[in-house]
């Protein structure tokens, strides 16, 4: 069975990167957007990165503009926004599609390993579910990711061990990362 180490991606400057370069590390792979209601997730993500990277943790950031056009900028604009507003230092990759016929193979793999199980309970989550269903209708059975800031936790062997929707409390995400780091 494939692991994330079998995939190659493009960094924000256009260079090909093999994810095997991250072998032995715990990874959190996230699709992001600079104009989303969940954009403040960058703050706890960066805090987690600063606190845990010396223990073998990496966050891989993949901007995506497929959800209500909330990441319209080019790679430089997105990077500047993230570094200036949130001080992000974790690796940021080229803007990609996560759904549809042009979905990045990495995200197809991630989403088929850990599929969507819902946004949780509550009025806000129900509203988000309704909105995402309308947005993702155009992708049909290739709507792998429901919204920005979906996070996938990868163990040190490159296996997908958890999926966190953007509605998941970031404290829950951090706890799972810390447990995997040991």
Contact 67, 150 (CB under 8 A): no
Among the listed residues 74, 59, 64, 89, the one whose alpha carbon sits nearest the alpha carbon of residue 143: 64
Q: Which residue has the tokens 């104009």?
A: 35
Contact 164, 150 (CB under 8 A): yes
Give whole-number Cα distances, 163 to 76, 78, 104, 159, 173, in Å: 28, 24, 17, 12, 9
Task: Please state, in angstroms and rounded to a whole number, the distance separating the CA atoms of residues 12 and 95.
Answer: 7
Residues annotated catalytic, as ranges: 36
């Amino acid at each position: 069975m494939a692991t994330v180490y079998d995939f190659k991606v493009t960094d924000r400057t256009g260079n090909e990167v093999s994810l095997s370069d991250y072998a032995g590390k715990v990874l959190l792979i996230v699709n992001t957007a600079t104009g989303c209601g969940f954009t403040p997730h960058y703050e706890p993500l960066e805090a987690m990165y600063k606190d845990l990277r010396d223990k073998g943790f990496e966050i891989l950031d993949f901007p995506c503009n497929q959800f209500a056009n909330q990441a319209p900028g080019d790679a430089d604009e997105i990077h500047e926004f993230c570094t200036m507003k949130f001080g992000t230092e974790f690796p940021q990759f080229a803007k990609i599609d996560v759904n549809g016929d042009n979905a990045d193979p990495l995200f197809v793999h991630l989403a088929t390993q850990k599929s969507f199980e819902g946004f949780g309970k509550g009025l806000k989550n129900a509203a988000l579910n309704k909105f995402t269903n309308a947005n993702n209708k155009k992708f049909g059975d290739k709507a792998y990711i429901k919204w920005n800031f979906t996070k996938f936790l990868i163990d040190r062997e490159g296996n997908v061990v958890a999926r966190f929707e953007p509605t998941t409390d970031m404290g829950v995400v951090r706890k799972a990362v810390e447990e995997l780091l040991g």
